[in-house]
């Protein structure tokens, strides 16, 4: 999906906005790190001073004073670094929480087209693997950055008071090695992004395989899926190894340069010490500071590498921030007591240059039961999806209770409509939780009534724990018909102004379907019901039947009037009757 102009972007400024929410902890972490860096930088200097003092054969009391001072510095250092870790963790975990919540909340607002573009497994990978990269940057950044900068600055000043040429040599050499590490790390950023992309591909394959395990087993595709996973897993390993084999030598570069620099410092410092230009304490200070500087520069290099890798992760998070195209307008109107009057006025829907619906004009008074029939792909589902603004028309308008749905508050509009699709999704929760879904306060009496009307009550004796039975992922513990009836009960509990059954009785036998529809008419007398069905027997008792073909309404009327008209509907009735007679003959 291409990035739209003016869309929110996950970049450094965006990330800083989340960090600013916890600026107290951020400042505390950097401040504590600065204090720890200051005291830790003074410790080697004090050690060298103690060595020189010992050489001068001073009193033990004087050495004790220096020892106490060193102990105090050590305690301050430990306390400061403890505070730095505490506050850095606070920043990292809270920012990670805020970003994850922001992304998830936004995902709930995006249209179906977004989810058709990005596979579920890939989205999960972005929400966790890429977010983990941000956490890794923040945790090391706020743990090391403040102390590293102060340590370098104080170390340079202290060493410069001892020997400026040697100090400049040490800092220049180690700084160059760190800059090389950063430069190469930047060049490897696209490689790491490819690793993350492959992680998303692998995650998508796992998600699809687990969700479709029944289909895989039914078609005997276990071996084929295993081969596919092995291929993708090998590619993931290849990309990781390609990255690591280039990144690890870069990470070892500062250590290698540090060892070489140490050898030079030992030679040069030793000569200067022999010539009397450096004391033994100064010589020790240079050696200890060399190790300290190398460690600090290594930390800065690691922080920079994490920063570059996080830039790739932010790029992958940007699509998750895109603004929903379907949302409530400013000053949207409420819909507190919907009646259920519906009107489609010259409605048309165009997708990629093709008109899927065109010139739809239809008025549905509240309380009526209207059926939609027609060949597969004629636009029935698309038409009813316009009511809850799952998508919006390209032309014309959809009106509920005399108001264009685009001017209504989206949440109130969708609460007024209960939609039961053919492909029912149930959450991995008990049956009663799936029926209540968002209306936990519903009384048990209402729950029982909904279960009874949907005829799911007849199946309760078969379930080990009745309504408390866990349905499994996507309702795997239930049959197709049972899942549809649970979904119907869920819709009834919502007590909607408009009920849409989108072929929601396809897995239910004709007799049960008729009983459900008959009870629904009694309960929803003041509600508007729209029924999409392929079986004429399911809809023949509707108040009004709308026949669609190729995105247009070609016929409408009652069942009897449409049969008498001898058009498309009559041919559908005849075809269904012929099929039923054939099945009866076969059974006999």
Residues 436-447 as b or e (16 or more Cβ within 10 Å = b): bbeeeebeeebb
Task: Confirm whether 527 is domain-assigned.
Answer: no
Task: Confirm whether 265 is domain-assigned.
Answer: yes
Q: Within a 13 Å sphere around the CA of 257, how many CA atoms are in the beta-carbon half?
A: 24
Q: Are 192 and 244 in contact (CB under 8 A)?
A: no
pLDDT score of 276 more than 80: no
Do both 341 and 397 map to the same domain? yes
Task: Confirm whether 579 is domain-assigned.
Answer: yes
Residue 395: strand pairing partners: 348
Strands of 139-276, DSSP E: none
Do both 312 and 356 map to the same domain? no
Q: Per residue in 157-176, pLDDT tens?
A: 888 888 888 778 777 877 77
Domain edge (last residue) among 262, 294, 321? 321
**Which pLDDT band holds residue 181 (cuts at 50, 70, 90)?**
low
Task: Confirm whether 283 is domain-assigned.
Answer: yes
Query: What is the rounded distance in angstroms from the CA atom of residue 115 to the CA atom of residue 102?
Result: 17
Q: Per residue in 282-334, pLDDT tens?
A: 878 788 887 787 788 778 878 887 888 888 889 889 999 988 888 888 899 99
Strands of 252-366, DSSP E: 342-351, 354-364
Do both 250 and 278 map to the same domain? yes
Could you tell me where the DSSP H helices lie in 417-471? Answer: 431-436, 444-453
> Beta 342-351 vs 544-549: how paired, if at all?
unpaired
For the chain, what is the mean pLDDT? 83
Do both 342 and 282 map to the same domain? no
Domain limits at 544?
332-416+540-588
Read off the CATH number of the domain in which 279 is found.
1.20.1560.10
**Which pLDDT band holds residue 83 (cuts at 50, 70, 90)?**
very high
Average pLDDT estimate for 504-521: 73
Read off the CATH number of the domain in which 387 is found.
3.40.50.300
Do both 341 and 295 map to the same domain? no
Domain edge (last residue) among 289, 321, 353? 321
pLDDT at 2: 42
Task: Confirm whether 513 is domain-assigned.
Answer: no
Q: Per residue in 220-268, pLDDT tens?
A: 778 888 888 888 889 889 988 888 887 777 666 666 666 676 677 777 7
DSSP secondary structure code for residue 459 in this structure: G
pLDDT at 525: 67
Task: Confirm whether 282 is domain-assigned.
Answer: yes
Do both 311 and 346 map to the same domain? no
Query: What is the rounded distance in angstroms from the CA atom of residue 401 to the CA atom of residue 404?
Result: 9
Q: Are 347 and 395 in contact (CB under 8 A)?
A: yes
Q: Per residue in 112-148, pLDDT tens?
A: 888 888 888 888 888 888 899 899 999 999 988 888 8
Task: Give the total number of structural domains in the chain.
Answer: 2
Do both 173 and 92 map to the same domain? yes
pLDDT at 348: 95
Do both 113 and 192 map to the same domain? yes
Query: What is the rounded distance in angstroms from the CA atom of residue 271 to the CA atom of residue 228?
Result: 65
pLDDT score of 582 more than 60: no
Q: Per residue in 485-503, pLDDT tens?
A: 888 888 888 888 898 988 8
Q: In the block, which residue shows the tokens 């306390």?
A: 79
Do both 219 and 348 map to the same domain? no
Do both 224 and 357 map to the same domain? no
Domain edge (last residue) among 321, 348, 380? 321
Task: Confirm whether 435 is domain-assigned.
Answer: no
Do both 273 and 396 map to the same domain? no
pLDDT score of 464 more than 50: yes
Task: Confirm whether 39 is domain-assigned.
Answer: no
Do both 266 and 313 map to the same domain? yes
């Amino acid at each position: 999906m291409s990035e739209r102009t003016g869309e929110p972007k996950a970049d450094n400024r965006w990330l800083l906005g989340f960090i600013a929410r916890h600026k107290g902890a951020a400042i505390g972490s950097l401040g504590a790190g600065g204090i720890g860096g200051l005291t830790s930088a003074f410790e080697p200097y004090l050690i060298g001073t103690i060595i020189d003092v010992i050489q001068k054969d001073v009193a033990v009391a004087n050495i004790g004073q220096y020892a106490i001072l060193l102990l105090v510095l050590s305690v301050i250092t430990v306390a400061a670094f403890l505070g730095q870790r505490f506050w850095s963790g606070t920043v990292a975990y809270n920012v990670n929480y805020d970003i994850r919540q922001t992304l998830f909340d936004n995902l709930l607002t995006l249209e179906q087209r977004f989810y058709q573009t990005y596979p579920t497994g890939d989205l999960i990978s972005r929400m966790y693997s890429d977010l983990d990269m941000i956490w890794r940057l923040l945790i090391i950044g706020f743990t090391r950055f403040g102390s590293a900068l102060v340590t370098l600055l104080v170390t340079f000043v202290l060493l410069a008071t001892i020997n400026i040429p040697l100090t400049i040599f040490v800092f220049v050499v180690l700084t160059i090695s760190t800059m090389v590490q950063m430069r190469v790390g930047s060049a490897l950023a696209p490689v790491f992004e490819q690793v993350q992309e492959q992680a998303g591909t692998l995650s998508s394959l796992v998600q699809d395989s687990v969700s479709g395990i029944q289909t895989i087993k039914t078609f005997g595709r276990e071996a084929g899926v295993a081969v596919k996973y092995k291929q993708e897993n090998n590619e993931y390993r290849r990309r990781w190894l390609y990255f690591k084999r280039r990144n690890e030598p870069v990470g070892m570069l500062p250590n290698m340069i540090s060892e070489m620099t140490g050898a030079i410092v030992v030679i040069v410092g030793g000569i200067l010490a022999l010539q009397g230009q450096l004391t033994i304490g100064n010589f020790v200070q240079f050696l200890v500071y060399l190790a300290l500087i190398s460690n600090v520069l290594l930390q800065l290099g690691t922080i920079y590498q994490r920063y570059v890798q996080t830039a790739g992760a932010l790029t992958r998070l940007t699509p998750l921030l895109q603004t929903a195209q379907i949302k409530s307008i400013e000053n949207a109107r409420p819909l507190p007591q919907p009646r259920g009057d519906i009107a489609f006025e010259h409605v048309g829907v165009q997708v990629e240059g093709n008109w899927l619906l065109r010139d739809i004009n239809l008025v549905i008074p509240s309380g009526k039961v209207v059926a939609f029939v027609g060949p597969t792909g004629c636009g029935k589902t698309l038409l009813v999806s316009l009511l809850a603004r799952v998508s919006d028309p390209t032309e014309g308008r959809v009106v509920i209770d005399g108001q264009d749905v685009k001017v209504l508050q989206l949440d109130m509009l969708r609460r007024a409509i209960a939609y039961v699709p053919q492909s029912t999704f149930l959450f991995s929760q008990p049956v009663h939780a799936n029926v209540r879904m968002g209306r936990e306060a519903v009384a048990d009496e209402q729950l029982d009534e909904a279960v009874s009307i949907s005829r799911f009550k007849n199946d309760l004796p078969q379930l080990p724990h009745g309504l408390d039975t866990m349905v499994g992922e996507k309702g795997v513990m239930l049959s197709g018909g049972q899942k549809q009836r649970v979904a119907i009960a869920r819709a009834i509990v919502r007590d909607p102004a408009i009920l849409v059954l989108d072929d929601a009785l396809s897995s239910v036998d004709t007799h049960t379907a008729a009983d459900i529809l008959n009870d629904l008419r009694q309960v929803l007398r003041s509600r508007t019901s729209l029924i999409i069905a392929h079986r004429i027997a399911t809809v023949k008792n509707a108040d009004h039947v709308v026949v669609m073909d190729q995105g247009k309404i070609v016929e409408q009327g009652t069942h009897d009037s449409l049969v008498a008209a001898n058009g498309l509907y009559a041919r559908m009735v005849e075809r269904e009757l012929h099929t039923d007679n054939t099945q009866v003959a076969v059974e006999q």
